[in-house]
Chains A and B, each alone.
Chain A
Amino acid sequence: MPNVVQKTAKGDGWISTLFAGVVVQIMLIIYWQLLKRFPTLIYTEITKKILGSVLGKLINLVIYLNFILVGGLATILLIKIINLWLLPYTPGWVISLLILTACIYLTISDLRIIARFLVLATSLILLLLFTSLLSWFTEKEILYILPIGSSGLKNILMGSKNSLLAMLGFEGLLLLFPFILENKKGVFKTISMANLFITLFYTYFIFLTLISFSQDQLAQMREPILNLLRGITYNMIDRVDLLFLSIWIVPMATSIIAYLYFASKSMNVDKRKYPKVVFLNGFIIFLITLIPHEDAIITLFNQYVSYLSYGVVFIIPSLLLILSVLLKKHESSEST
């Protein structure tokens, strides 16, 4: 992410990320208002309730497509990184098959188990923080971010747009909310805290890469953070980037699990059929990963998927809220 933000926002990239956090928070408030009206329904049920059966189903198809494509994209990017840094000679489909097998296995199981695994995987973020601390010992130049605000408001906002994409995933709330059993009131506080954490986390890393690399250099790189670790060397341990990446595969796989789960949930099937649906979706993602791994194609794919995401994550929920307020619809009101 850092290099896309940097491309437009230059030395002010870190302001862009902070701003993106604010946007996400606004979206969370919109979600919250929507969910308060329909506390036991998930996203795809709400659409049907508000828009009626036919239009609702159409929208649901878009939502489903979004999740499956984002899931596919996440897998492609993961495979690409592994292929580029760790296993250059292993065919992509083998890596894809291995990752997806594990992901499907986990997604079939109970939501509680998935949640536990995600918590476990999240603890690996501490590892990322730790390794990033190591990189503070390499040369840093705080002057790179000065003068603050030099790239102009427009570019900072454009940078935010790019960093928003990296922060996606919070839309899962729309699908998960009805399954939260206790203390529904506290949920808003929790997700806001999560948003704050993610925002600060990204800002910290953007800041770190901005002061570590000169701007022309940053524009060249694909994965600045891995490159940052590549420069660290010790007598005992070399190539910290490779060690780090091997561990970081696990947290990266969690986003695939999450999207696989969202996609399967958004199909509104009953419990008995659920495992089959997960298998099906897993297979679809596998097929998506088989598209050629050329830089140009992936960039194009990335672009289309991100447009779709904007629609599903930002526009549709906002419209739903407006409509539900205008039509005075609640969960208890009769469906039309």
Chain B
Amino acid sequence: MMVGCMISILLTGCWDQQLLVNRTLVNGISLDVTKEGEIDATVRALHIQSKGGGLFEIQDEVVEAKRPTVVGLGIDMDSKIAGAIDASKAHIIIIGEELAKKGIHPYIEFMYRNMDSYMSSKVVISKGKAKTILSTEIEKSPIAFFILQMLNGAESDTVIPKETTFTVWKKVLDPGKDMVLPYLEQVESDKVEVAGVALFNDDQYTGTKLSKEKSSVLLSLMGKLGKTNNMALILGQESNGQSISFTTNDIRRNLEVHVDKNNKITCKINLKMDIEVGSFPQNFKNELNIKKLNQDLSDELTKQAKEITSTLLEANCDALGIGQRISSFHPELWKKIRWEEEYQNVQFEPTVKVNIIKTGNVF
């Protein structure tokens, strides 16, 4: 009996041991809605099999399950693959456009309630079915890792925001702020591309998306800057305009929300950008007129910023967190209004000021 007690105490760890060889590691999840309204989940999983002598055979497999709701999908999956399913390293969650329009909160809730699951998975929206993206076959690495790398790259270039399950959880439950999520698109049968950002209203995809170029400007307006932010613009008329590409080194954003006597909400955004010219093919006989170029760029970007803010209003996506400001600084007004409707009447006044600080190797 003594021995029995000792063993049970000393070997307590064994209750919770989970051998790698018995498990199937999920590295990507996709969620879609079928025509019948069922949830169609697909996972990309790595199955590890020991071949003895420290050698492992790794198989990449695609598993699919359908259910009326998200609940129970995990159980279905588990019964379809060998070994226990392990979502503790699911790097990406792709949600199909149609499903995202119905609201993504139930699927995120499942991820954060579960203690095992990975809170830093990237959440992205896909054009069309998410399944087609996840089942894309590329040569070497599993597609999930490829997409992960792509997203990381796009984040540091300030094309898409850094959104994980963790941050999405916060934003879905925040009444004063809406989110934008990366938008993926399958361009060829074996290629996937980051196509911009999808605008959300609460947890529902509004159906409006911004292209890559515009999402860079939007993120700047939100005061975000990854490692770099590369932009290319055409100044003046499309046909005879000059093209310029530049890298943003530093941004300073100032966002002010004013409420006047009639409770009209005005939002002033001042964005200052320090940029470095990347390429600017021009007539080299004239000296570069930095002052004029600054002005032209500022005008062009201000114009774009205005387009973006009106798109945000149309989509009813409060990505800049104006509601948050109102609830913090004008609590009486916040209690009075229905923000969902009132947001439409917000007037945006964005101004962008560009300052060229470097011109590269040449003047």
Contacts and interface: CB of A to CB of B under 8 A. Distances in A.
B230 interface: no
Nearest to A229: B119
A213 B170 CA distance: 6
Contacts of B120: 231, 233, 238
A88 B115 contact: yes
Interface string A80-104: 0000111111110011011000000
B16 interface: yes
A256 to B, nearest CB: 18
B173 A214 contact: yes
Given A146-B329, A230-B119, A217 B12 contact: no
B151 to A, nearest CB: 14
A212 B166 CA distance: 11
A88 B16 contact: yes
A85 B166 CA distance: 17
A248 to B, nearest CB: 16
Contacts of B175: 214, 216
Nearest to B324: A143
A214 B321 CA distance: 13
B329 to A, nearest CB: 7
A301 B306 CA distance: 58
Contacts of A238: 118, 120
A84 B12 contact: no
B30 interface: no
B169 interface: yes
B115 A87 contact: no
Nearest to A139: B167
Contacts of A138: 166-167
Interface residues of B, number: 25
A216 B8 CA distance: 42
B16 A90 contact: yes
Contacts of A88: 16, 115
Given A85-B115, A213-B170, A143 B164 contact: no
B55 interface: no
Interface string A130-165: 000000001101011011001000000000000000
Contacts of A213: 170
A318 B166 CA distance: 47
Contacts of A87: 12, 15-16
Nearest to A87: B16
Contacts of A230: 119, 166
Contact of A89 (B9, B15, B167, B328): B15
Given A141-B324, A143-B328, A147-B331, A214 B174 contact: yes
A214 B16 contact: no
Nearest to A94: B12
A234 to B, nearest CB: 10
Contacts of A86: 16
B170 A97 contact: no
Given A139-B167, A216-B173, A230-B166, A147 B16 contact: no
Interface residues of A, number: 30
A129 to B, nearest CB: 21
Contacts of A216: 173-175
Interface string B314-326: 0000000100110
Given A214-B173, A214-B174, A217-B173, A150 B331 contact: yes
Interface in A174-211: none
Contacts of B16: 86-90
Given A97-B9, A147-B328, A231 B119 contact: yes
Nearest to A230: B119
A96 B328 CA distance: 45
Contacts of A139: 167, 170
A147 B324 CA distance: 11
Interface in B120-179: 120, 164, 166-167, 169-171, 173-175, 177
B175 to A, nearest CB: 8
Contact of B169 (A84, A85, A91, A217): A217
Nearest to A145: B328
B170 A84 contact: no
A147 B329 contact: yes
Contacts of B12: 87, 90, 94-95, 98
A231 B168 CA distance: 11
Given A143-B324, A147-B331, A217 B174 contact: yes
B232 to A, nearest CB: 29
Nearest to B109: A220
Contacts of B324: 141, 143
B155 to A, nearest CB: 13
A214 B328 contact: no
B325 A98 contact: no
Contacts of A90: 12, 15-16
Nearest to A234: B120
A147 B176 CA distance: 14
The 9 tightest CB contacts between A and B, nearest first, are A146-B328, A231-B166, A214-B174, A233-B120, A216-B173, A90-B15, A217-B173, A143-B328, A89-B15
23 contacts: A87-B16, A89-B16, A90-B12, A90-B16, A94-B15, A98-B12, A141-B324, A143-B321, A143-B325, A143-B328, A146-B328, A147-B329, A147-B331, A150-B331, A214-B170, A214-B171, A214-B173, A214-B174, A216-B173, A216-B175, A217-B170, A230-B119, A230-B166
Given A89-B16, A143-B325, A214-B177, 15 more contacts: A88-B115, A90-B12, A91-B15, A94-B15, A141-B321, A147-B331, A150-B331, A214-B171, A216-B175, A217-B170, A231-B119, A231-B120, A231-B164, A231-B166, A238-B120
